[in-house]
Amino acid sequence: MHTRTWLVWLAATTAIAILSPHPLYHLLIILAVGYVFVARRDDRPLARSFPLFARAGAVIWLSYIVFAAITVGGPRGATVLFNAPAYQLPVWLGGIVLGGPITAEALAWGATRGLSLWTLLLIFGAFNALVDHHRLLRLVPRSLFHAGLAVTIAIAFAPGLVRSGQEIIAAQRARGHRFGSIRSWWALVGPLLAGSLERALQLAEALEARGYGRTLTKPSTGRMIGLLLGLSMLTTTLISWLWAGSTVLPIMAPFGGIGLALVWWSAHQLSRTVSRTTYRRERWHHHDTITCLAAIGAVIVIALLRLLKPTALVYYPFPEIIPPTFDLLIGTTILALAVPAIPMHTSAPRHARRIVADRRAARRAAQQQSAFAD
């Protein structure tokens, strides 16, 4: 699918997960995300990172349950399971009480909050595993091409380093070398360091040969000053809001808006000084349109339900634990996030005709070559 389609899907899935802090709906989101990953995964090295996100989310979920059970930070609930030894921390550590009565409500609260973080981790893990990062970085504005290039090199560095290390280890073992003590690993470190330096020099020469850093015109001082001034205005607005709260928003909101407009104008003007060549453009298919419409529609429905029936999307186990309810309309809306996993056969006949035409052309060329040889 198109990279912009994946961005829309990521934004929609994250928004729905935040708007519906409910364990049943989060489990449904996890199932939809897992189904999309299984249906769309490939053999790239980054595609193997999804299990890592899943394991990290499981650890965070268990830690959240333990933390919610042993700390006293609010209502504890009415269903006491057992009493644990209590210990109060010093005042300079917040005076938090560890232990005490362990209630089912506290465990349910920790499980639901931890499940929310686990869901977000799985969403970003699926996005990280399914999206081509090089295509994603092509969407960066031209004024930030230096940062985009640095991120591209950083992304390609780790898989290349691992691949080089595996090749060196295989070559050294083929020569009879055995890795045991610390000194024996120099047979890996030395060639790996030399290969990294050689690749760095080759990359520098390739960038220089391709005219890296060439701009159409020199960036004017006024544009750079405007960019710095806009960022300073945005930073001042954010600090004022965090320091004084919402009371300063009527005064600082126009100030921050002017800073945002100034940053946009400066970045737009700076991007005009950078030339960019696209060798292989992504094509927008019907599946992309259907996925974007489904994701945006799901977000709109969930947002309207959050405004009209906010209690249907939120699960709160206090003061007494109750089973979570399930709304069929909300569940059906969340299932729309699994649309990227549905195979679309609209382009299959065209692709099949193209394969047949290529085979006929290759057969005709082979016949002409054999006739010329005779």
Q: What is the pLDDT of residue 182?
A: 79
Whether 322 is covered by a domain: the verdict is yes
Using the Cα atoms of residue 173, residue 175, residue 180 and residue 181 in order, give the sign of their dihedral.
negative
The Cα–Cα gap between 301 and 12 comes to: 11
The Cα–Cα gap between 295 and 300 comes to: 9
Using the Cα atoms of residue 233, residue 236, residue 238 and residue 240 in order, give the sign of their dihedral.
negative
Whether 368 is covered by a domain: the verdict is no
> Are residue 7 and residue 113 in the same domain, yes or no?
yes
Q: Which tens digits make up the pLDDT trace of 225-259?
A: 888 899 899 999 989 888 887 788 788 889 989 99
Q: What is the pLDDT of residue 372?
A: 54
> Are residue 14 and residue 125 in the same domain, yes or no?
yes
Whether 120 is covered by a domain: the verdict is yes
> Are residue 91 and residue 165 in the same domain, yes or no?
no
> Are residue 20 and residue 120 in the same domain, yes or no?
yes
Which residues, at least 6 apart from 371, have a Cβ–Cβ distance to it below 8 Å? Answer: none
* 8 Å CB contact between 88 and 100: no
Query: Does pTM surpass 0.75?
Result: no
Q: What is the pLDDT of residue 280?
A: 72
Q: Which amino acid is at 326?
A: F
> Are residue 133 and residue 156 in the same domain, yes or no?
no
The Cα–Cα gap between 10 and 126 comes to: 9
Regions of the chain short of the pLDDT cut 50: 346-349, 352
Whether 51 is covered by a domain: the verdict is yes
- Closest C-alpha among 156, 115, 106, 104 to residue 24: 115
Whether 96 is covered by a domain: the verdict is yes
> Are residue 21 and residue 61 in the same domain, yes or no?
yes
> Are residue 19 and residue 94 in the same domain, yes or no?
yes
Domain count, the chain: 3
Q: CB burial class (10 A; 0-12, 13-18, 19+) of residue 327?
A: middle
> Are residue 117 and residue 155 in the same domain, yes or no?
no
Q: What is the pLDDT of residue 72?
A: 56
* Domain assignment of residue 87, given as a range: 1-138+282-343
Instruction: Tell me the CA distances in angstroms from 181 to 172, 184, 263, one per residue in order.
Output: 15, 5, 55
Q: What is the pLDDT of residue 215?
A: 57
> Are residue 80 and residue 26 in the same domain, yes or no?
yes
Whether 273 is covered by a domain: the verdict is yes
**Last residue of a domain, which of 159, 184, 214?**
214
Q: What is the pLDDT of residue 355?
A: 60
The Cα–Cα gap between 135 and 6 comes to: 11
**Last residue of a domain, which of 214, 244, 267?**
214
Q: What is the pLDDT of residue 347?
A: 44
340 alpha carbon, distance to own chain's centre: 16
Instruction: Tell me the CA distances in angstroms from 284 to 5, 37, 103, 299, 340, one per residue in order.
Output: 9, 21, 53, 22, 14
Q: Write out the two tokens for 147.
A: 């940062």
The Cα–Cα gap between 293 and 286 comes to: 11
Query: What phi-psi label fits residue 12: left (phi over 0), alpha (psi between -120 and 50 degrees) or beta?
Result: alpha
Q: Please compute, for residue 216, the number of CA atoms within 13 A of its CA located in the half-sphere on the CB side.
A: 10
> Are residue 68 and residue 119 in the same domain, yes or no?
yes
32 alpha carbon, distance to own chain's centre: 16
Q: What is the pLDDT of residue 102?
A: 86
Query: What phi-psi label fits residue 175: left (phi over 0), alpha (psi between -120 and 50 degrees) or beta?
Result: alpha
> Are residue 85 and residue 127 in the same domain, yes or no?
yes
> Are residue 331 and residue 265 in the same domain, yes or no?
no
